[in-house]
Amino acid sequence: MLSGGARTTTGISVTIVRDPALVRTVRLVAAAVARRGSRDEEFVEEVRLAVGEACALLVGADASLAGVADPVEVSMRLEDRLRVVVRSGGTVPAEDEPTSDIDGIEPWALLRGLISDFSVQRDVDGTALSMSWPLR
């Protein structure tokens, strides 16, 4: 347990192929890492949801990611904060497709609503979603 006393850094990286079935595995790992930092189950649930959501976005049910073979890398570091970066090749559209099921809903609404420290970087290598939480 890291709360109180000397705090050591925990770093875990998980790489998965672009298979939606594996997103659940990443969620389980994210929850385990969050639990090392806090016993607050609400916090753990929030991290599980956010990391799963970010991972799902990059694994991509999205047609724009079809054919992108790069794996999805998730790195989590437990320091003064829990810092998570989810990265992959391909570019996730910033706006929803008009024909999508979630027509009219900002695609990042859930992530931005869940996390105050959330950013998206897009470059030639792909997309990286970064997020962090203070430990509770």
Partner 1 sequence: MDLSLETRQEDGYTIIEVGGEIDVYTAPKLRDKITELVGNGDYNLVIDMEKVDFLDSTGLGVLVGGLKKVRAHDGSMRLICNQERLLKIFRITGLAKVFAIHGSQADALAER
Report residue 90: phi and psi, to 5°: 90, 160
Q: What is the DSSP string of 9-38?
A: -EEEEEEE-S-GGGHHHHHHHHHHHHHHH-
The answer to whether residue 95 forms part of the interface with partner 1 (CB under 8 A) is: no
Q: How far is the CB of 118 from partner 1 (least distance, A)?
A: 13
Cα(84)–Cα(118) distance, rounded to whole angstroms?
A: 10
The answer to whether residue 134 forms part of the interface with partner 1 (CB under 8 A) is: no
Size of the site for partner 1 (CB under 8 A): 24
The answer to whether residue 28 forms part of the interface with partner 1 (CB under 8 A) is: no
Binding mask 59-88 for partner 1 (x = CB under 8 A): x-x---------------------------
User: Applying CB under 8 A, which of residues 34, 53, 126, 129 lies at the interface with partner 1?
Assistant: 53
Distances (CA, A) of 25 to 19, 98, 130: 11, 31, 19
Side chain identity at 19, as an amino acid letter?
A: D
Residues that bind partner 1 (CB under 8 A): 20-21, 23-24, 27, 42, 45, 48-49, 52-53, 56, 59, 61, 100-103, 105, 107, 109-110, 113-114
